[in-house]
Amino acid sequence: MKIAPSLLAADFSALAQEVARVQGADWLHIDVMDGVFVPNISMGPPVIAALRDKTDLLFDVHLMIEHPLAYVEAFRRAGADCITFHTECADDPQELVEAISRNGAKAGVAIKPATGVDAIGPWGQALSMVTLMTVEPGFGGQKLMEAPLVKIRQIKERFPHLLVQVDGGVNASTIQLCARAGADAVVAGTAVFGAAEPQKEMERLRALQ
């Protein structure tokens, strides 16, 4: 599985240095929260733009915001390579997929733990990735919920071309659950950025699969 450290768990006072610590990652997961869709606020396009020339890592920008459509262009300009929105947001998913593709980014969708796979409509054919939340979105450091992992197989049956990424509570104790369930990638925030040596921790996570 691919390893994607979540910037939400990094030291916000030294983000450039923190990104440098995870150069061995497959891509960087960047959580954007608006304080409305989830009860927390994180960062916006200026922060992402400031980090863009500090690394060659792919930026998977996870928009946990109520109205992501209005911000697609801004996040793409800031350096997002993949833009992931939630099925539970207030904007039309078909319009979001089209806007993301039109701006030259890959489109992804995220679903909360209680959201069924049926929430991904025909527009799922145009996606690159599904991010399956195994915690309630909004805060890092939560415990992985095992029940949502059954949706990985369901997603792959309907959309075999999609990468399925697990986001929430992934660490050395839970990564094998994700592997057995069929995940293609995992988001690991606290486990990686909280380690004394993030590179070694990512190697450990890969070895445990």
Give residue limits of the domains in the chain.
2-207
In our burial notation (b when 16+ CB lie closer than 10 A, e otherwise), range 21-55 reads bbebbbbbbbbbbbeebbeeebbbbebbeebbeeb
Catalytic residue among 26, 31, 34, 81: 31
Evaluate if residue 150 carries a pLDDT over 70: yes
Q: Report pTM.
A: 0.94
| Biggest CA-to-CA distance, the chain | 44
Closest alpha carbon to 108 in 159, 66, 61: 61
Question: 70-109: per-residue pLDDT in tens?
Answer: 999 999 999 999 999 999 999 999 999 999 999 999 999 9
Is residue 31 part of the annotated active site? The answer reads yes
pLDDT given for residue 39 in this prediction: 85
Amino acid at 189: G
Is residue 167 part of the annotated active site? The answer reads yes
Catalytic residue among 34, 60, 91, 167: 167
Return the SS3 of 116: coil
Q: What is the CATH number of domain 2-207?
A: 3.20.20.70
pLDDT given for residue 136 in this prediction: 86
pLDDT given for residue 21 in this prediction: 96
